[in-house]
């Protein structure tokens, strides 16, 4: 009889001791005759025969069969409805045609896969589908969410990606199959993936690409030694579509990055560390005056804690480091209220935060000093400017930040504009810094310049100065300011972080830094906008910093980044915090952020 039911009613999931996967919209469970359970849903009938021996007469079987047919036809007549909003497109190139195309493609696939009827009026729809398409270089990512009308449950979110415009249809197929399987219980996404997987072409040795016109005429032994390798079947399948990284002479590897879901925030900073002591890296993000802690589950961010600052404070810098050595990284936050610094440090203890200090009038961050390791450094604000000369090692005593000895740094750097490293292994410490003109420089500890870049590096939208909240409320201006006040009111921008790491396993420190791309921002002193950026890996040649690799151009404002690699390890990860809409008109209104994760494999290098 099971075969008979299944042959007549494709919607029957199981007939026997157990029922298979039941869609989430199952609405009522009713007992039938002699231990037969009927589960009615909108568009589904599921039958479960209870455990035990059941004998049904042919007449009773006929009655049950007739009931099934009547119920199935009546329920199926009321198909689920869905309203599909036009997808928002974020791209520098003209991809507006995808707005209507996405609606049509999703409508046809959801009708075929999940028997959904598309309606124009969202008020009459059972479900609402909306999303966006983001272009990052040639790659396209599709974010979608499905909301059930009248439900208190949060929307279900989905994600798909395409290496370029030619792959958008396959990405839509995967997205529709995923939604049909997970939200509506129709189809098998795993089977769909297997069926739609591209046929592997015979391997052909790729010709070496000619050198870029921008490539340096002379290269040291370091460049061209580290590269990106596909680390998952998905990336291996995309291996011939180009790499997310560019080396001076060649392009190699797979697509090269994962992307998290979009977040409703304007990201200010990012840090990666083990924040809960489980041995796995977590991600902490800073908004304007909020801190969010996330577990990384695949490519999804799952929030588990947060910290809110007062509304009159804005976050300048966020860092994470395990300075007390207990296996759990602390979070160090530097904020500013008008021109007054405010610092806090907190450690997550499983269910709540333990604050090492709060509301301290310092700027603070962990600094790695050659020969000493990580320590906490701090700097005060000046009466007539954003930073007082002198950067100090600081300690914590009963919730207070206490000044220690001064670090051997030139006065021209501030707490956020430098890193320290012995770049050539000669025992002397070099200072790597970015100045207010966005030039990358290498200095001796005494301030003597060893090298300055021709290109612009760093670049961020975080700053100290300008007319603050209290200035606007009091009417204070440049003409009415006091003698000892900062009358210029120019903004001092906080450079992007400079990361020191051995990125090519030669046992010498290298430099990872961003290059936010903008011409206008170099001209207008107090107005910045960065519509795109890159991350560069640089190596010291003895006479300057030379490019080892760089990411391809990333469309959007690169707000922050972090690099994670264990000493001597072949595997590393580059995390990039991206604000997706950051044009001139979007600087203040930007609210969509995401994290890109680039896996690096450093195991295959020239010696």
Residue range 491-542, pLDDT digits in tens: 899 999 999 999 888 889 999 999 988 766 555 666 778 888 999 999 999 9
In whole angstroms, give the CA distance from residue 92 to residue 521. 18
**Residue 603 confidence class, pLDDT cut points 50, 70, 90:** low
> Top-level CATH class of 81-184?
alpha beta
Boundaries of CATH 2.120.10 in the chain?
250-467+488-601
User: Mind listing the pLDDT tens digit for each residue in 135-184?
Assistant: 766 778 888 889 998 887 778 888 788 877 778 888 898 889 889 888 88
Positive or negative: CA dihedral 399, 405, 410, 411: positive
- When pLDDT is cut at 50, 70 and 90, the band that residue 187 belongs to is low
- Helix %, strand %, coil % of the chain (to 5): 15, 40, 45
Specify the DSSP class assigned to residue 188: -
**pLDDT for position 356:** 97
- 4 in Cβ contact with 12 (< 8 Å): no
Q: Are strands 300-308 and 263-264 parallel, antiparallel or unpaired?
A: unpaired
DSSP 87-121: PEEE-SS--THHHHHHHHHHHHHHHHHH-PEE-S-
Please give the DSSP secondary-structure letter assigned to residue 338. Answer: T
Q: Mind listing the pLDDT tens digit for each residue in 342-394?
A: 999 999 999 999 999 999 999 999 999 999 999 999 999 998 889 999 999 99
Cα dihedral: 191, 195, 197, 198 (round 10):
180
Q: What is the pLDDT of residue 394?
A: 98
Task: Rank 19-28, 33-42, 273-282, 572-581 by mean pLDDT and report only the highest.
Answer: 273-282
Structure tokens at 422: 């012995």
Position with higher pLDDT, 176 vs 213: 176
| CB neighbour class for 409 (10 Å; exposed up to 12, middle 13-18, buried from 19) | buried
- As annotated, the residues of the chain forming the CATH 3.40.50.10070 domain(s) are 81-184
CATH fold of 250-467+488-601 reads Neuraminidase (2.120.10)
Helix 168-182, helix 97-114: angle, nearest 10: 40
Provide the pLDDT for residue 423. 96
Q: Which of 19-23, 280-284, 467-471, 532-536 has the lowest mean pLDDT?
A: 19-23
Across residues 186-207, what is the average pLDDT? 43
**Radius of gyration of the chain, Cα coordinates, nearest whole angstrom:** 29
With helix as H, strand as E and coil as C, how does 450-511 read?
EEEEEEECECCCCEEECCCHHHHHHCCCCCCCCCCCCCCCCEEECCCCCEEECCCCCCCCEE
Asked if 75 and 43 count as a contact pair (C-beta separation under 8 A), the reply is yes
Q: Where are the alpha helices (DSSP H) in 363-468?
A: none
End-to-end CA distance of the chain: 70
Structure tokens at 184: 């509506």
Higher pLDDT, 356 or 603: 356
| 530 contact partners, CB below 8 Å, separation of at least 6 | 459, 460, 461, 516, 517, 518, 521, 557, 558, 582
């Amino acid at each position: 009889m099971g075969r008979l039911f299944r042959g007549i009613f494709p919607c029957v999931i199981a007939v026997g001791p157990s029922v298979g996967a039941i869609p989430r919209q199952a609405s009522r469970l009713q007992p039938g005759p002699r231990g037969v359970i009927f589960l009615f849903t909108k568009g589904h009938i599921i039958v479960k025969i209870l455990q035990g021996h059941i004998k049904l007469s042919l007449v009773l079987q006929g009655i049950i069969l007739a009931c099934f047919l009547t119920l199935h036809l009546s329920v199926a007549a009321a198909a689920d409805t869905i309203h599909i909003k036009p997808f928002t497109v974020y791209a520098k190139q003209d991809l507006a045609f995808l707005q209507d195309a996405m609606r049509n493609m999703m409508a046809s696939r959801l009708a075929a896969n999940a028997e959904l009827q598309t309606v124009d009026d969202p008020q009459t729809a059972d479900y609402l589908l909306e999303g966006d398409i983001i272009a990052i270089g040639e790659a396209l990512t599709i974010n979608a969410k499905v909301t059930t009308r009248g439900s208190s449950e949060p929307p279900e979110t989905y994600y798909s990606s395409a290496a370029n415009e030619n792959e958008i249809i396959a990405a839509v197929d995967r997205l529709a199959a995923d939604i049909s399987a997970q939200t509506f219980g129709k189809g098998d996404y795993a089977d769909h993936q297997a069926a739609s997987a591209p046929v592997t072409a015979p391997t052909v040795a790729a010709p070496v690409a000619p050198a870029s016109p921008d490539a340096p005429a002379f290269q040291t032994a370091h460049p061209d030694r580290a590269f990106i390798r596909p680390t998952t079947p998905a990336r291996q399948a995309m291996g011939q579509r180009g790499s997310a990284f560019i080396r001076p002479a060649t392009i190699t590897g797979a697509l090269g990055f994962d992307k998290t879901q979009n977040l409703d925030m304007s990201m200010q900073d990012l840090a990666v560390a083990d924040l809960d002591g489980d041995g796995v890296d977590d991600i902490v993000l800073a908004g304007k005056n909020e801190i969010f802690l996330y577990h990384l589950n695949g490519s999804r961010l799952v929030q588990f804690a947060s910290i809110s600052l007062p509304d009159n404070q804005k976050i300048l810098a966020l860092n994470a480091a395990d300075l007390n050595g207990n296996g759990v990284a602390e979070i160090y936050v530097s904020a500013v209220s008008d021109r007054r610094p405010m610092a806090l440090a907190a450690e997550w203890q499983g269910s709540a935060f333990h604050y090492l200090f709060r509301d301290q009038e310092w700027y603070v961050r962990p600094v790695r000093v050659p020969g000493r390791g990580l320590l906490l450094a701090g700097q005060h604000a000046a009466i007539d400017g954003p930073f007082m000369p002198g950067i100090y090692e600081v300690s914590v005593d009963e919730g207070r930040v206490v000044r220690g000895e001064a670090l051997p740094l030139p006065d021209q750097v501030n707490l956020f504009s430098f890193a320290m490293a012995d770049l050539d292994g000669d025992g002397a410490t070099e200072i790597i810094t970015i100045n207010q003109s966005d030039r990358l420089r290498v200095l001796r500890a005494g301030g003597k310049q060893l090298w300055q870049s021709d290109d612009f590096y760093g670049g961020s939208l975080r700053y100290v100065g300008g007319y603050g909240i209290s200035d606007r409320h009091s009417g204070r201006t440049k003409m009415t300011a006091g003698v000892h006040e900062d009358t210029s009111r120019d903004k001092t921008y906080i450079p992007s972080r400079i990361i020191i790491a051995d990125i090519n396993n030669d046992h010498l420190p290298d430099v990872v830094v961003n290059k936010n791309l903008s011409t206008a921002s170099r001209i207008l002193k107090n107005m910045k906008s960065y519509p795109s950026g890159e991350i560069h890996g640089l190596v010291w040649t003895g006479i300057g910093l030379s490019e080892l690799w760089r990411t391809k151009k990333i469309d959007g404002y690169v707000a922050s980044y972090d690099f994670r690699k264990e000493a001597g390890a072949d595997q590393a990860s580059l995390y990039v915090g991206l604000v997706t809409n950051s044009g001139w008109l979007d600087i203040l209104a930007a609210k969509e952020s995401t994290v890109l994760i680039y896996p690096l494999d450093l195991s295959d290098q020239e010696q």
